[in-house]
Structure 1
Amino acid sequence: MPESHCVSWLPRWLGFDALERAAVGAEDAASAQYYGLRPKPGGWQQVGDGLRTAHAAVRTLPVSRIVQAIDETCRRWSDRQFVHRVQARHHIAATTGFSPEAIDRSLDVELGNYRTDTLNRVLRRELGGAHVLDGFQEDIELGGRTIAIGPRLTVAVCSGNVPGLPALSVVRALLVKSAVLLKVASGEPSFAAHFVRSLSEVDPVLADAVAVMYWSGDDHAALQDAVAQADAVIAYGSEAACAAVRAKVGPHQRYVEHVHKVSVGVLTQAYLGKVGLSEAARRVAEDASAFNQHACIAPQAYLVESGEFDVRRFAEEVADAMAGYAAVCPLGSLRLEDAAVLQLRRASNAWAAASSPDGGFWRAPGLDWTVSLAADLLSVDGAGNRMIGLLPVADLADVVRTLRSIAPHLQNVGLGAVGVEFWELAAALGRLGASRISEPGRMASPSVIWRHDGMPCVSRLLSWCDIEMHEEARPRTTTPSDRE
């Protein structure tokens, strides 16, 4: 049995004597390959108090310093030989089965988001500017001043399907000067501790405001005790997992939820004619293969308008493109239960293809990729691992009719359309519930500026204090209407 590895990060002020081990993916910590740390019963208040004290130090920092520290940390991670990245890659591969190249591509996309320019653009878009987090700023419309105030402590409950994703919750909370208690998932528990450890080398004050811990998903007492410490809660996961967190959030606490969503692509005949079948297929393969298709932003299916460019011929191009992607970025090694599920899904699709004159089925010799012609969306809804369905649709109106069945869960759409048809479809998809529309081939690389699931993510953590109708706070500048 390899030496067990701790997936937690402890700030300098938190001693081991206040904590206990929690096994990750095993019945007891002594036999587990990975273990996390959490407070002993009755010790959650001590951890919460310590994080609130750390928050008091972070609150005095200018946002520019926080942005700079996050940027420098992610700049270091952009080097694939960075020591913390090398260690994280090793542990992520061991727990998820992702190939090293698939992990690296995931980390490149995820951590490439948190650089100075992008973070400042987020703050400008959601808050009007970063300085409103540092002190009262002029508000012309109010005729006074306003300040944005972040939570003292944010508890973030992570899912384990995407390498690097826990960094998003840490970054969002630190941007608003909040301390963070991060609960990692058993599916991928290792990355967060490596990331915060590297942050501590850049800015120890920030890292002292972050604790990375683990408890099992069915430990409702630990979840209750953790949430009780929070001013704000961020939850990722399945509908059941998010419902369990939501049930423990009080009316005084801010709550941000990212429940499982479904993403799809759409290709019109005009778009296929514009970019060509081979290039369109490459873009579909890029979308369906990134993050091994485990992220909600990855498409489970592409709807393809019927016409001059035959859908079956296009499926053959997609199969070639999926094989090309896998040649340089293999899927990796699946757990036995995941491999069994994939094989069952493949068998079902192969049977459907053989039973229908309109069916079609292509696969890698191993498990690296699968392409099928699908009869409906239900037949392609699955658990990822690079299995893409191509669904012929009669016309553009049929696109909307087809997607209406998944409208409550629709998130990301790769829209391959041109001219008037693009704008008509984009508007219809937005009304249907899509929160992001991108070019095919860009589905798996959203910016942090995107309003995730249709909601602003940073500003939802904030409360505001306005000063109005006070001589001391009157703005020094005026609006055009005031000058009139």
Structure 2
Amino acid sequence: MTALDRIDRLAPLCRLFPELGISGPGDLRRLLKVALGRLDALDRFVPYGDGWSRAIAPRRIYHVLAGTLAVSGWRSLLEGLLLGSENLLQCPAEQKSAMARFCSSLPRSLRKLARILPAYSQESFASADAVVVFGRDETIRLFQSRCRKEQLFLGYGHRASLLWLGGIRRPTMDLAKAIAQDMSAYDQSGCLSPQCLILESEGTAFALAELLARVLSADARLRSIRRPEEAARIREARTIARSLGWPLWDDGDELQWTIIVRDVAQFQPTCGHRVLYLDKVPRNGLAAWLAPLQGHLSAVGLHGTVPASVQKLFWHLGASRLCPVGRMQSPPPLWHHDGKTPLVDLIRWVDWEGSKMSNGRNPRRPQRHPPFTEER
């Protein structure tokens, strides 16, 4: 099966799972072309410099998935299938049903390339050519230490995102709706979910909190039943805010959303579950305030003009994505997750060099197809 065959088979799956952010075959083709230079590099030797090169995908990929978001596991499996690799999925209990639903939607010709494991398997792990791990930094280090030297390893560790509105003075209802979209998607549990919203004016924080409370109160989607452990974390965050005298807006016992205007010396994470902190941070103190995020910053949702000094600060902290407010949870298909180009780290290359090919042709002469037979 060629790469184009796999694209044709995977495209309908992407439409069934819009959370992937991949609309169809065009996006899948772009993924491969950006990573490999051309679509047929996995199927045959293609021109490269004065010779030829061929991309070699892992025969088997071992995926260690996180328990937070199903979509990260779906995307990881999709990329493995796009490469034509066999995929072994170590899936936490809370995500197994979502992954099983995804696998059952695969075309029959690709379903055999995906297998959900009941638990960690050292034998399966050792048999993989590549390992992809999602989770805490400790989890990343643990599995990387288990890898053989020749195994490809790709880790996605702990990351946090935030919203920066800077010196905005008059927040609008449209802006509040965009912020609510960012904090509500996935119950604020993913690496792209905003942990806090940074402003330079305390007065703006109060005005924005009022607008957010109106938007969130009217959002009919926020009507889920909280698990006991989620409810406990939300109540604890509210209790701490009240004890410290921080202004707070919430929905009472429904526990669907909480807005807190707080005063802290440095960044502190939220508990998630739509608990958003509005933090007043002057621009000249922003670097010190964000210091705990060094190396862990993922996405920054922005509104208005962003000074060059603030942009550079986000880059130096490790941000891999800057986007408009309201789009934090909808990265484009070619998004550099943690700064990595999709698929590239799962590929190795084989070069065919020499002044002449085995059939006597000079590689410097362009040809319609490389002079190598393809395995069928």
Q: TM-score, normalised by structure 2?
A: 0.90
Which of 198, 203, 227 is the equivalent residue of 1:335?
227
Contact 1:242–1:259 at 8 Å: present in 2 too?
yes
Q: Distance in 2 between matches of 1:333 and 1:254?
A: 41
| Runs of 4 or more above 6 Å deviation | none
For the pair 1:364 / 2:254, whether they are aligned, the reply is: no
Indicate the residue corresponding to 2:29 in structure 1: 120
Say if 2:51 and 2:354, in contact at 8 Å, map to a contact too.
yes
Cα distance in 2 for partners of 1:409, 1:157 equals: 20
Q: How high is the sequence identity, in percent, across the aligned residues?
A: 26
1:400 alignment counterpart: 287
Q: Note if 1:238 corresponds to 2:155.
A: no
Change (3 A) 1:370 1:380: farther
Show CA shifts across 1:262-298 (max 9, x none): 111100235x65xx42222111111111011011110
State whether structure 2 residue 191 is matched by structure 1 residue 282: no
Instruction: State the distance in 1 between where 2:28 and 2:200 align.
Output: 38
Partner of 2:71: 164
What amino acid sits opposite 1:115 in the alignment? G
Residue 253 of structure 1 aligns with an amino acid whose one-letter code is Q
1:347-395 CA-to-partner distances (Å, cap 9, x unmatched) read 112222x2xxxx3111112110000012237675133101100111223
Q: In the alignment, is residue 193 of structure 1 matched against residue 90 of structure 2?
A: no
Q: Does residue 62 in structure 1 map to residue 2 in structure 2?
A: yes
1:450 to 335, 343, 351: 335
**1:175 paired to 2:82:** yes
2:70 match: secondary structure: coil
Q: 1:191 to 1:378 in 2, by over 3 A?
A: farther
Structure 1 distance, partners of 2:293, 2:209, is 23
Alpha-carbon offset, residue 447 of structure 1: 2.1
Letter matched to residue 53 of structure 2: T
Q: 298, 309, 316: which is aligned to 2:210?
A: 316
The residue identity in structure 2 corresponding to 1:230 is: A
Structure 2: stretches of 5+ with no match in the other structure? 368-376
Structure 1 residue 196, shift from structure 2 partner: 1.4
1:212 CA drift (Å): 1.3
CA contact (8 A) 1:70 1:114 kept: no
Q: Check conservation: 1:184, 1:212, Cα contact below 8 A.
A: yes
Residue 70 of structure 1 deviates from its aligned partner by: 1.2
Which letter maps to 1:151? P
Q: Judge conservation of contact 2:298–2:338 (CA < 8 Å) in 1.
A: yes
CA contact (8 A) 2:266 2:289 kept: no
One of 42, 46, 50 as aligned partner of 1:143: 50
Name stretches of at least 5 consecutive residues in structure 1 with no aligned partner.
Answer: 1-60, 78-106, 216-221, 479-484
- Residue 248 to residue 223, structure 1, CA distance change in 2 (3 Å): farther
2:38 aligned partner: 129
| Displacement after TM superposition at 1:398 (Å) | 3.1
Displacement of 1:114 in angstroms is 5.7
Give the alignment's Cα RMSD to 1 decimal.
2.1
2:18 equivalent to 1:72? no
Contact 1:157-1:234 within 8 A present in 2 as well: yes
* Residue of structure 1 equivalent to 2:261: 373
Normalised to the residue count of structure 1, the TM-score between the two structures is 0.71
Question: Which amino acid in structure 2 is aligned with residue 166 of structure 1?
Answer: G
- Which residue in 1 is equivalent to 2:272? 384
Residues 400 and 118 of structure 1, relative CA distance in 2, 3 Å threshold: farther
Cα distance in 1 between the residues matched to 2:66 and 2:242: 31
Deviations 1:222-269 (A, max 9, x none): 343331111000111122332332221111101111112111110023
Asked if 1:264 is matched to 2:152, the reply is no
Who is 1:348 aligned against?
Answer: 240
Relative to structure 1, the CA distance from residue 331 to residue 123 in structure 2 (aligned partners, 3 Å threshold; closer, same or farther) is farther
After superposition, the Cα gap between the structure-2 partners of 1:403 and 1:223, relative to the gap in structure 1 and judged at 3 Å, is farther
Aligned residues: 362
Alignment partner of 1:111 out of 2, 6, 20: 20
